[in-house]
Amino acid sequence: MIVYKYFLKTAYRYKLIILSYALIFFILSMINGASTENKDISFEESNLDIAVVDNSNSDLSNGLIDYLDKNNTIIMMEEDIAEIKEKIFLQVIEGAIIIPENFDKNVLEKNESLEVIKDDRLMTSVQIENEINKYLIFANASASEDGFNLDQVSDSLNQDIEVELIKADNPSLNTSANSWFKFYFNFTGYIIIAIYVAVLGLIMTEFKDENIEKRTKISSKKFMNFNSEIYLGQITVGAIITLIFILGSLVLKGKHIGEVDFIKYLVNTVIFSFSILCFTFLINNLTRNRFLINGLSTVASLGTAFISGVMVPQAFLSDKVLTIAKFFPTYYFVRVNETKWTSFLDIKYELFMQILFGIVFLLLGLYFSKIKQKA
């Protein structure tokens, strides 16, 4: 295991790169944690700025708009999805409602009657959906052969109900903790790409040195054993890097583990690490240029972070950008982190795609490695 030991020894020389990335990441995570630790996560109705696109212009759609306008500010807009998403992202508006032409028919048939565009990270998205659902439920209840009895709907909704809240002995789960874990593990994907490509790439440039390769060829060390120890070294270093960030989440927010789907984050991170390890293996067999490897580390990590939902939520990215993002495992990694699940069946497709990407990267790496051996 001489090669394996030398690989780990070489990796140790790059510990400052790993530590610097990790330190910056943990500092940002602590800052984000401090901002959400004491955040009030209780729901309270407030006046919202809601954009409305009314393609129906029926009595029912006008009744819905009038109802929402009582406690909110309604902004009538044209149907420009890009502009609407931009305004939500910039927090100019809290959400938008697009009412189709066949709105009345959809409500009567209890089909999806309208489209709501909102920021799911904000509690205001709950209020928008609640108010819409409340109105449509009452409208459906008033429906008859003559249509909707909107006066009856209005009278019912205007009635006040006295509610007495009783504080439970066991407080509800901390949703701010779940938000923190999603943020943490989404950015872990960015850091894993950056460190894997940079550190493992730089280590492999030393093993790909011409003098080293010539000595290897004339040594008694079999080529198969040599490569096996190299691969084992890469897996070991990759596992240590991934473990650092998994343990980091436990150190920073370990007391909230029972309140989040930690198993989901754990499995997702391990599978994503496998795919990026294979991606790094491919890069190592394409080039031995240190400057090119450092450049690919930055481009691959930052580039995929911006188009896959790490920096900007996927809900605010255009369909074209998301289509491009689907050609890299980071997109599916973020999808798993954002998904509310009950079992692994809910995220099996995203996990499978990450594994598939890893296998493709591995096969391409072996192909280019074989070509270089023949040369």
The fold for domain 49-158 equals abc type-2 transporter like fold (3.40.1710)
Alpha-carbon separation of residue 224 from 15, 18, 166, 228, 360 (angstroms): 28, 29, 69, 6, 21
How much of the chain, in percent, has pLDDT values that exceed 90?
Answer: 21
pLDDT tens by residue, 186-231: 999 999 999 999 888 888 887 776 676 666 666 666 667 777 888 8
What's the residue count for the chain? 375
Please tell me the predicted confidence (pLDDT) of residue 242. Answer: 93
Average pLDDT over residues 165-190: 70
115-119 CB contacts, 8 Å cutoff, 24+ apart: 117/81, 117/84, 117/85, 117/88, 118/88, 118/94, 119/88, 119/89, 119/94, 119/95, 119/313, 119/315, 119/316
Please tell me the predicted confidence (pLDDT) of residue 278. Answer: 92
Mean pLDDT estimate for the chain: 83
- Where exactly are the structural domains of the chain? 2-37+176-374, 49-158
Average pLDDT over residues 95-117: 86
Cα dihedral 311/315/318/321 (nearest 10): 50
pLDDT tens by residue, 292-319: 888 888 889 889 999 998 888 888 888 8
Spatial separation of the C-alpha atoms in residues 241 and 339, rounded to whole Å? 25
pTM check: above 0.75: no
Q: Which residue has the higher pLDDT, 18 or 375?
A: 18
What are the residues facing 53 on neighbouring strands? 98
Q: Are 44 and 165 in contact (CB under 8 A)?
A: no
